[in-house]
């Protein structure tokens, strides 16, 4: 089951990366939908491990995605799904096993029928976003921001998912789910920008100390500070690109304002912990 979790984690990320690469609208939509399904599979398998009392982590192998044509990574994803389907025999939960098998049987064949296309531009390192002309300083700032923030959003998805999986507190789980959903939106936004700029990459593997949080209150306090820092980075980037691209400046202001609400949610969660009198 732990191998099943790991393989599903890798298939989810590979499918998400393929969605970033795809230019065809229907193909992109299908790959996004399939990546969402695989992430749900991941959480269900994780829940099964928790119910069994099995210790697990989020370790995974590196995921090679630098390809010239979409067909190459789609074949890889289909192969990964086939491996997951074979591993699912180890799942004792009949309902979960049947759901995994039926989803995978359909998805692994469907991705092979998607139209092929040249996706080499996702790795061209042209560092140009759409038809927007940015100076070197603004381009460098945007590049650094996207690499740092795409990793941070992946990190937050995994951390909040782990916290939610190990919590029975409905109030906190509502906040954790909001933060997961918001981080998914940011990751998709930044990942698509990275693909458009030819700098697409898979977020690095998380160290288990990041999500196996010893003190949730300490994590929330530090998280509020990190969100404040992220707001500053968004503001600085907005200022850096404002003269050359009001469109990009507006987007990063939009992200900045979302971070403000994240801070308020984290403050709510922190206050909730204090009211419970928990020592966590």
Residues 215-246 pLDDT 10s = 888 888 988 988 888 888 888 888 888 778 88
Q: Quick check: 180 and 274 in contact, CB under 8 A?
A: no
How far is it, in rounded angstroms, from Cα 96 to Cα 101?
9
How far is it, in rounded angstroms, from Cα 164 to Cα 170?
9
Nearest to residue 196, comparing CAs of 100, 133, 119?
119
- Whether 94 and 134 map to the same domain: the answer is no
Helix boundaries (H) for the chain: 2-21, 25-52, 70-87, 94-110, 136-165, 170-196, 208-211, 216-241, 246-276
* Rg, Å, the chain Cα set: 20
Q: Output the pLDDT for position 240.
A: 80
- Whether 270 and 197 map to the same domain: the answer is yes
Nearest to residue 35, comparing CAs of 67, 66, 9, 3?
9
- Whether 95 and 133 map to the same domain: the answer is no
C-beta atoms surrounding 225 within 10 Å: 12
How far is it, in rounded angstroms, from Cα 223 to Cα 276?
20
Domain ranges, residue 224: 126-280
- Whether 148 and 171 map to the same domain: the answer is yes
Q: Output the pLDDT for position 137.
A: 87
Q: Quick check: 110 and 81 in contact, CB under 8 A?
A: no
- Whether 194 and 119 map to the same domain: the answer is no
SS3 57: coil
Give every CB contact of residue 190 below 8 A, 6+ residues apart in sequence. Answer: 146, 149, 150, 153
- Whether 135 and 256 map to the same domain: the answer is yes
Tell which of 123, 154, 173 closes a domain: 123
Q: Quick check: 46 and 5 in contact, CB under 8 A?
A: yes
- Whether 118 and 142 map to the same domain: the answer is no
- Whether 55 and 172 map to the same domain: the answer is no
Tell which of 86, 108, 123 closes a domain: 123
- Whether 147 and 260 map to the same domain: the answer is yes
Q: Output the pLDDT for position 279.
A: 44
- Whether 248 and 279 map to the same domain: the answer is yes
Tell which of 84, 108, 123 closes a domain: 123
pLDDT at 278 over 70: no
pTM value? 0.93
Domain count, the chain: 2
Q: Which of 103-112, 149-158, 267-276 has the lowest mean pLDDT?
A: 267-276
SS3 120: helix
SS3 118: strand
- The 10s digit of each residue's pLDDT in 60-108 is 999 999 999 999 999 999 999 999 999 998 888 899 999 999 999 999 9
pLDDT at 1 over 90: no
CATH number at 160 reads 1.20.1260.10
- Whether 116 and 218 map to the same domain: the answer is no
- Whether 198 and 247 map to the same domain: the answer is yes
């Amino acid at each position: 089951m732990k191998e099943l979790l790991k393989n599903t984690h890798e298939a989810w990320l590979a499918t998400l990366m393929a969605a970033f690469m795809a230019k065809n609208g229907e193909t992109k939509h299908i790959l996004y939908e399939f990546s969402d399904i695989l992430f749900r599979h991941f959480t269900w398998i994780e829940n099964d491990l928790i119910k069994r009392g099995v210790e697990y982590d989020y370790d995974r192998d590196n995921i090679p995605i630098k390809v010239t044509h979409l067909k190459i990574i789609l074949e890889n994803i289909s192969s990964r799904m086939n491996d997951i389907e074979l591993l699912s025999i180890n799942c004792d939960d009949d309902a979960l096993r049947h759901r995994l098998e039926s989803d995978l049987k359909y998805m692994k064949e469907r991705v092979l029928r998607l139209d092929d296309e040249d996706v080499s531009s996702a790795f061209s390192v042209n560092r140009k976003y759409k038809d927007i002309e940015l100076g070197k300083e603004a381009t460098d700032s945007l590049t650094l921001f996207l690499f740092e923030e795409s990793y941070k959003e992946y990190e937050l998805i995994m951390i909040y998912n782990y916290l939610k999986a190990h919590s029975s507190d409905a109030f906190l789980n509502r906040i954790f789910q909001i933060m997961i959903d918001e981080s998914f939106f940011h990751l998709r936004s930044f990942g698509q920008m990275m693909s458009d700029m030819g700098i697409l990459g898979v977020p690095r593997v998380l160290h288990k100390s990041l999500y196996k949080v010893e003190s949730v209150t300490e994590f929330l306090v530090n998280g509020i500070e990190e969100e404040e820092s992220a707001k500053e980075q968004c503001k600085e980037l907005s200022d850096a690109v404002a003269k050359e691209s009001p469109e990009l400046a507006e987007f990063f202001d939009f992200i900045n304002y979302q971070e403000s609400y994240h801070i308020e949610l984290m403050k709510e969660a922190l206050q909730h912990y204090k009211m419970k009198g928990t020592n966590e």
